[in-house]
Amino acid sequence: MARSTSPNLALPDASVNDLTEGSERRPAALSLLISLRPRQWTKNLLVFAALVFAEKLFDVAAVVAAVEAFVIFCALSGVVYLINDVADRDTDRRHPLKRCRPIAAGALSARTALWAAALLGAAALAAAFALNVRFGLVAIGYLGLLGLYSGPLKHIVIIDALTIAIGFVLRAAAGAAAIDVLISHWLFVCTILLALLIALAKRRHELVMLADDATSHRPILGDYSPYLLDQMIAVVSASTLIAYVFYTISPETSEKFGTPLLGLTIPFPLYGIFRYLYLVHQREGGGSPADLLVTDRPLLACVALWLAAVVLIIYQPFPL
């Protein structure tokens, strides 16, 4: 049985009404910007993963290409959010938090949102192909897959979470395509497992927060239970850590980077995943992983220290 809504996540009716009325008074341009969800930019940082692990962090041309890819994927993500919010506008109105989104609240019309998505999507894809053809093809794949997620795929149990996870993999693959390298099989495995963990935790958060109203907002939640999701999360958490450990200690990795020391970074993902699970289970977090990353200082510090350690070990600016 799902637990009741946590007080810090549920909004009183009066607060929701105030926010909804406020959103209706916003200029359409501001409502459109909010619907693009620029706060979710951290999800697209995966575009830079290939830059770091392909040892091109100090290659100016590669850095410029990666930054361009990052900007393009921020635009593509915005297109996906617009399409998703249009498709979900009726169910979002029954959600304690999502009802305040501009499209659900009526501050931005579905027609305007779809026109904006079409124009922004066309511009982003044109820029993607201008960067290079392989990157453009990955961008089309990302937009197509997440467009299907907004339609039928989000209503198929387990496939819904896998689709979200593959969306993160395509971000990583796009980063590799942008700098003209092949995505490592290790990067693929670690990315899809970590993304799947996040997707399942998000489903758990929705199920617990909405309790008995969960299926009225998202029918697919009726096919899940907190116990089932906890089992899946446990499997994926362990798999993610095992995959990363094997990657860091494998002879292939040591030979590639010329050092066996990457295994020293293992404590960071250990702490990071445990911290994330703590926030999901004890603090009722997980609804917005992007917000957790920038608002939870221990988690942010863990990611920053992990990245610093990886760069120091791979690029060896000092003798190690």
> Are 168 and 43 spatial neighbours (Cβ–Cβ below 8 Å)?
yes
Is 6 within the bounds of a domain?
A: no
Domain final residue, candidates 150, 183, 216? 183
Quote the DSSP letter at residue 184. P
Assess if residue 169 is contained within a domain: yes
Q: 61 with 178, same domain? A: yes
Same domain, 190 and 125: no
197, 150: one domain: no
Asked, for residue 23, whether it belongs to a domain, the answer is no
Question: Angle 178-184-186 (CA atoms, 0-180°, nearest 5)?
Answer: 140
Q: Are residues 47 and 148 both part of a single domain?
A: yes
Burial class (CB in 10 A: 0-12, 13-18, 19+), 101: buried
Q: What is the pLDDT of residue 5?
A: 39
Residues 80 and 140 in one domain: yes
Q: Is the pTM value of this prediction over 0.75?
A: yes
Q: Which domain holds residue 37?
A: 29-183
Q: Which residue has the tokens 């939870």?
A: 296
> Does the pLDDT at position 131 exceed 90?
yes
Looking at the predicted structure, is the pLDDT value of residue 22 above 60?
Answer: no
Condensed to tens digits (0 to 9), the pLDDT of residues 78-108 reads 999 999 999 888 887 877 778 888 888 888 8
Average pLDDT, the chain: 86
Cα–Cα distance measured from residue 81 to residue 32, given in angstroms and rounded to the nearest whole number = 11
The verdict on residue 167 lying in a domain is yes
- Mark whether 207 and 72 lie in a shared domain: no
Same domain, 301 and 214: yes
**How much is the pLDDT for 120?**
95
Is the Cβ–Cβ distance between 121 and 79 less than 8 Å? yes
Q: Is residue 11 part of a domain?
A: no
Q: What is the DSSP string of 9-25?
A: T---HHHHHHHHHHHHH
Q: What is the mean pLDDT of residues 39-53?
A: 91
Query: Which of 183, 203, 218 is the last residue before a domain boundary?
Result: 183
pLDDT, position 28? 81
Residues composing the chain: 320
pLDDT of residue 307: 95
The CATH number of the domain holding residue 140 is: 1.10.357.140
Residue 4 has pLDDT above 80, yes or no: no
- Inform me whether the pLDDT recorded for 165 exceeds 50: yes
Average pLDDT over residues 71-82: 94
- With a pLDDT cut of 70, the percent of the chain lying above it is 88
Please indicate, yes or no, whether residues 83 and 227 belong to a single structural domain of this protein: no
Q: Does residue 120 share a domain with residue 49?
A: yes
Task: Say yes or no: 91 and 191 in one domain.
Answer: no
Whether 126 and 256 share a structural domain:
no
Instruction: Write the pLDDT tens digit of every residue in 205-247.
Output: 888 877 666 666 677 888 888 899 999 999 999 999 999 999 9
Instruction: Report, as an integer, the average pLDDT of 154-161.
Output: 91
Last residue of a domain, which of 183, 205, 236?
Answer: 183
pLDDT at position 168 over 80: yes
> What single letter denotes the amino acid at residue 217?
H
Alpha helices in the chain (DSSP H): 13-25, 28-35, 49-53, 60-87, 89-92, 102-105, 110-131, 133-150, 159-178, 185-210, 214-217, 226-249, 251-257, 267-282, 289-295, 297-315
Q: How far apart are CA 271 and CA 265, in angstroms?
A: 11
- Residue 18 belongs to some domain of the structure: no
Please give the biggest Cα pair distance in the chain. 61
Whether residues 72 and 188 share a domain: the answer is no
Q: What is the mean pLDDT of residues 279-290?
A: 75
